[in-house]
Chains A and B, each alone.
Chain A
Amino acid sequence: MPSKSNLLLPQPITAERYNSMTNTQHDNGRRNFLQKSVLGTAAAGLAIASTTHTTAQTVQDASEPEIMNEIDVLVIGGGTAGHVAAIQAGRAGAKTLIVERNSQLGGTTTTGGVSFPGLFDAWGKQIIAGIGWELVKESVELDNGKFPNFAKVPQRHWQNQVFTNQFLYAILAEEKCAQAGVEIAFYEFPQTVEQTSDGWQVDCVGFGTRRRVRCKQIIDCTGGAEVVGMLGMPRLREEERQPGSFLFMLGKEHQPGRNQIHRLYVHGADSTNSRTATEANLTGRKSVLARVRKEKKRLMHMQPETGFRESYRIEGETLITVNDYTSGRLFEDAISYAFYPVDLHTKTGVRPKPLKPGKVPTIPLRALIPKSSKNIIVAGRCVSSDRLANSGLRVQASCMGMGQAAGAAATLAAKMGTTPLEVPLTKIHALLREHGQIIPGKA
């Protein structure tokens, strides 16, 4: 364990720092444009590979392997729920750090390539908005993309998913984190988590980095409730998981945010740990290679990771059953809507069971809180639910809704010196509403 004396406090990427970084890029871009113009005139007819220059911000004491953060809220996992949770916490004034094992934010939407998040609407009305929708909307608008017509009755639920440019989405998520004062730590993952008198001490490890984090609240957005598992709290897991999807494009150009992408089922895909995830990725890539050889077509695009559907779920203060889900039960502590068919993928495919007209499920705060826990909340597909309910709850818009609610609850708990379950629901609702989210059952 590192001694406290040699732990360094790093500078977070603030909005000013982020802007200075992007400005540098613009300056270099202009310079490079002039350079390219001159070269282009002088060497007409020659193909010239151009490079735009930009300079990464110097990391203070980068050679020191051990650092420390004293923060309010630690978000572990920067995926679909995590980055939204972090942005909400940062915007609400919490000193926030987000730790992500991969190289970008967005998770399934970006790294997994399922860049058609949904569903934000139900029965002709928007039901999930807030930070997740803000990101999706900005990504689409910046990309000159198109939104589905939510007034139109979709014949299939996926017709109302929003085609999003995954690359823009990832960058915008980083920008919004920076603007909210959220520090981002890529390539890191917690090694130990210990409870303290006023929160947690979490030791994270990345290559060349050992980070000790002291925080008041943890938001576990790892997908499979990894932190909850590290703490020895009970989790649910099925004998057989739903297949994952590996996304690629063979033989034709992939236009992000525009077209459908080729996909294959990876049966047995399991994100339980690094070994099972490795196996899923190896299997997916091997299958792609086999198809390239068989079809003799160019591989034009491939995602770096399998999109996983299922691993662990928490045992929460309450459990959302499929009956709660399909009946559109309005929980008394509902913090977000959800909307998607019951959508259990099997070896033979999937036959989604659409919800009955007018039904819109809700997610209670208690389903995000591990049973009998304090100062920890989860968001994402590990929400406390039975398997069939989870097959509908696990999708991106719902996870974004959960993420924002978890960010709000954790921030308020940190400020009030309590645990998320003890925060008055009216305060959580008020904060969520202030940040654009739609509250179930409230006009």
Chain B
Amino acid sequence: MKKRNRSFVSLLIALSFVVLAVTGVLAFALPFSLQIVGLHALMGFVFIGIIALHVVNNYHHLSRYMKTRVLWATIVITVGLTGLFLWQPAPIRSFLKLSQNLGPATDRFEVQKEGLIYQYRPSPTYQMALNLRAGETFDVTTPPHVAIWLENASFYHIKTLREPDDLTAGRAALPYWDFKRRGWEAAKRQMETEGLDSKPTPEVDGVSGATQNSSFDPADYILPADPDNPMPYRLLVEIDQPNDGQPSLVYSVEIDNSIPRSFQLLDMVGFPKQEANDADGKEVWALYFVDDQFNSALELVDSGLLTIDR
């Protein structure tokens, strides 16, 4: 019985460790996902319980190890790594930058009869709250498809903050976000295969164009390494009410941390329309100014307020 219990605990430890390891890597590599991080955290709690049983089963061996010099070596290594990871010198920060998750990001999305609330907290000192106040045609029982994402000043998607709940239907209903995100994923794949040289290069326009910025790393915008030289970025929302016979609408707001503002209203930009493919045969979508095909869709959102606590 005791032996079976021991083997049961050991196998459970091994399998839960596999889940923890995989979700840990995914949580590091992918944009924030409540499913992955939630699985990782909850499995972690289970793991703690099983480890407790494992310690009980192996107390005799462990107490023997504690009397050896190995104990001190393991304590030194553990304390050293903990200190190093807490201190986060430049090489560690560089490695963490590879994460798409921006560390301890948490987000919350709620649909209420008053509208939609989205909160995003990429760091303890930076919190966004987006409040889309319900318009006259907003119906909480059939909530609209919504996607929220960030773009850099060169209009490249850099991070999807909120995917639609029904991803399949949402991608069809929110084609502009879907197009932007697919473009971003393709660019990332290209960069991975061809290296950094394939990254779009900024160009200074000597007549009238903008000096563009082109980083794809959301951390460069939200939590820049050089706070004195932040880069502006945009938050976009695409929203569509199913079965209203009207295209989705896109709202946006520019965020410039060099001119920190606590409250900003979103502006309606337009609606998406597919264009003819470009010279390379690539799919193209553009936004158009709202025309007379719109009626109830214009009343879906009364106003959009972005609040940032820095």
Contact = CB atoms under 8 A, between A and B. Distances in A.
Contacts of A307: 207
A37 to B, nearest CB: 38
Contacts, number: 58
Nearest to B290: A124
Given A123-B289, A153-B269, A357-B268, A348 B209 contact: no
Nearest to A358: B267
A31 interface: no
A370 B289 CA distance: 39
A307 B207 CA distance: 9
A349 B286 CA distance: 27
Given A263-B206, A265-B206, A351 B287 contact: no
A245 B290 CA distance: 36
A124 B291 CA distance: 9
Given A124-B289, A152-B288, A245 B207 contact: yes
Contacts of A123: 289
A153 B211 contact: no
A350 B210 contact: yes
A147 interface: no
Interface string B266-310: 011110000000000000001111110000000000000000000
A114 interface: yes
A282 interface: no
Contacts of B208: 157-158, 161, 343, 350, 352, 395
Contact of A155 (B155, B268, B288, B291): B155
8 A-B pairs with least C-beta separation? A124-B289, A263-B206, A349-B211, A153-B287, A357-B267, A153-B270, A349-B204, A265-B206
Contacts of A265: 206
Contact of B207 (A151, A263, A351, A356): A263
Contacts of B291: 124, 151
Contacts of A124: 288-291
Interface residues of B, number: 19
B197 interface: no
A151 B293 CA distance: 13
Contacts of A294: none
Q: Is chain A's binding surface mostly helix, strand, loop or mixed? A: loop
Interface in A150-195: 151-153, 155-158, 161
B166 interface: no
Given A245-B207, A350-B205, A352-B208, A151 B288 contact: yes
A307 B205 CA distance: 14
5 contacts: A151-B289, A153-B288, A263-B206, A343-B208, A350-B205
B6 to A, nearest CB: 64
B286 A153 contact: yes
A9 interface: no
Interface in A111-155: 114, 123-124, 151-153, 155
Contacts of B209: 156, 158, 350, 352
Contacts of A243: 206
Interface in B36-71: none
A90 to B, nearest CB: 31
B211 A348 contact: yes
Interface string A317-357: 00000000000000000000000000100001111100011
B206 A245 contact: yes
A247 B207 CA distance: 9
Nearest to B289: A124
Given A263-B206, A351-B210, A395-B208, 14 more contacts: A124-B291, A152-B287, A152-B288, A153-B269, A153-B270, A153-B289, A156-B209, A158-B209, A243-B206, A245-B206, A245-B207, A307-B207, A352-B208, A352-B210
Contacts of B286: 152-153
Of B204, B206, B211, most A-chain CB atoms within 10 Å: B206
